Structure 1
Amino acid sequence: MNGHPQPPVPVIIDCDTGVDDALALLFAVRHPGIDLRAITCVAGNTDVDGVVRNTLTVLEQAGAPDIPVARGAERPLVEPARSARHVHGGDGMGDLGLPAPTRTPADVDAVTLLRREILASPRPVTLVPTAPLTNIALLLRTHPEVTGNIERIVFMGGAVEIGNATPVAEFNVWHDPEAAAILLTAGVPITMYGLDVFRRVVVPGPLVRRLRADPDAGTRLAGELLAHRPSAPDGDPGDSEAGGLGDAGAICTVADPAGLTTRLLPVEVALAPGPTRGQTIVDRRARPGESEIHGEDRETALVDVALDVDVSRFVKLYLSTVGR
């Protein structure tokens, strides 16, 4: 080690700004190790125009520099859009009554902005999708040359064990399973930050209250967003304000990869109609089974799957960054 600090990681976030995407953006614009080069928006938690508005609002509240924000796909590749307003509120971001943003989006679409920023980056970009993967699939199919300047894709999506949109499927992958299948075969290193770790990173109520009382607008917004989203209603009944970091854990992983335990495993997305559609099937077997022995060939990809997370490390990292 030569003792010189590492240059910040060039990052592009693709999001459907609801409560926890907003938490991720607040972290990304304040962490010195992250150079947030662009943000692209896709339908998911709310409609795409709402996502654009929410994203610009968060940047404004955080006092962020002028980061280009582009509008992307308004629906999945095959299916109609299906929002998660019952979780994220009517405006998709907790109905906090924030003022309308004065910032405006870029005059190009998301795929154009993604291509431009990835190819223009002097160092390979880390792409962090925290949303349905429609924009990323469109990018990879339209401009496959971008993969040459992508270091890694860290996506919030999927689940090894239990889903939330269905018993086995997580919302982002379930919302656009075809797009997720395209992502997995992008030919670049991929980290899957799935529900197994996503659900575990919870900020205790007393720390949330401290954020809500902070004089800084961005820090205070983080507290309001966490309080909107009680993370464990069946957990500690005396800690009603505890809130999950959710998507923000994926961007914490970029800043501090050692906080996450991953294993390189074959993953495929179930695309057939029915109860398994959108499931991420993660193969943790020690040896091949009869299906492989009998020559059934399925398209799987090797993915760094998150299996464990250092909760207190990520909570500390998040609070020290957003509450600077």
Structure 2
Amino acid sequence: DEVRESKEKITLIPLGPLTNIAAALIGAPDIKGNIERIVLMGGAAYAGNYSPSAEFNIMVDPEAASFVFNAGIPITMIGLDATHKAQLYREDIEKFRKMNKKVATMVAELMDFYSSFHKTMGFEGSPLHDPLAVAAVLEPDLVTSKNWQ
């Protein structure tokens, strides 16, 4: 309803598989005209994280991904290749903690958890997968995109 009722075209930033967006487009095809673009964390140009060649957000529901990719809506994919370069390091986490604010403390605690997991995967920091997609919308100059059609 919010997409349909929006006075302006919107940008969708899905977090995870594209199942909900595909379902929305199938159930309410009229909303397509209100969607300016979709910016998502998904895919990989070289190596995946679900399998050697597949990224989780796309592979977990490939039918939904295919439907959304073929819906005629402009899509920007922020792939693993980019998100693995955008990492939050221990010193960054400590800066959040020193802010002494509830949200900053929560971010620090979440990143403590993710950092310990990512260390087991060989990362020095913690890749910022979904936050990079959000940042690409809020600050477009942070990323350089290429047309891979």
Give the TM-score normalised by structure 1.
Answer: 0.43
Distance 1:222 1:244 in 2: 14
Q: Which residue is 1:258 aligned to?
A: 141
Is 2:104 the partner of 1:219?
A: yes
User: Going by fraction, where is helix more abundant, 1 or 2?
Assistant: 2
**Unmatched 5+ stretches in structure 1:** 1-115, 237-241, 267-324
Identify the match of residue 149 of structure 1 among 22, 29, 34.
Answer: 34
Instruction: Please give the secondary structure, in 2, of the residue aligned with 1:155.
Output: strand
**Bigger relative contact order, structure 1 or 2 (CA pairs below 8 A, ≥6 apart):** 2
RMSD of aligned Cα (Å): 1.4
Q: 1:168 aligns with which of 53, 71, 85?
A: 53
Contact 1:156 1:247 (8 Å CA) reproduced? yes
DSSP 3-state at the match of 1:253? helix
| Partners of 2:123 and 2:28 in 1: CA distance | 45
Q: Secondary structure at the match of 1:154?
A: strand
Please list the CA deviations of residues 270-299 of structure 1 after superposition, one character each: whole Å capped at 9, or x if unmatched.
Answer: xxxxxxxxxxxxxxxxxxxxxxxxxxxxxx
Among 143, 146, 158, the residue aligned to 2:43: 158
Is residue 127–residue 153 contact of structure 1 (8 Å, CA) maintained in 2? Answer: yes
Correspondence for 1:200? 85
Match of 1:246 in 2: 129
Instruction: Work out the CA distance in 2 between the residues paired with 1:244 and 1:163.
Output: 14
How far did residue 124 of structure 1 move?
Answer: 0.4
Cα offsets for 1:152-173 (capped at 9, x unmatched): 1001111111000111011111
Offset at residue 125 of structure 1 (A)? 0.5
CA offsets, 1:46-81, max 9 Å, x none? xxxxxxxxxxxxxxxxxxxxxxxxxxxxxxxxxxxx
Secondary structure of 1:126's aligned partner: strand
Q: Secondary structure at the match of 2:11?
A: strand
Amino acid in structure 2 at the alignment position of 1:222 = V
- 8 A contact 1:226–1:245 mirrored in 2: no
Secondary structure of the corresponding residue to residue 188 of structure 1 = coil
Q: Distance in 1 between matches of 2:140 and 2:48?
A: 24
Take 1:235 and 1:251, find their aligned partners in 2: how far apart are those partners?
Answer: 22
Q: Is the 8 A contact 1:184 1:190 kept in 2?
A: yes
Contact 1:228/1:243 (<8 A) preserved: no
How many residue pairs get matched? 146
Give the Cα separation in 1 of the matches to 2:78 and 2:123: 22
Task: Give how far 1:244 is off.
Answer: 2.4
Taking the aligned partners of 1:243 and 1:169, their CA distance within structure 2 comes to 20
Aligned partners of 1:202 and 1:244 also within 8 Å: yes
Amino acid in structure 2 at the alignment position of 1:154: V
Q: In structure 1, what is the equivalent of residue 6 of structure 2?
A: 121
Structure 1 distance, partners of 2:13, 2:80, is 16
AA of the residue aligned to 1:217: K
3-state SS, counterpart of residue 43 of structure 2: coil
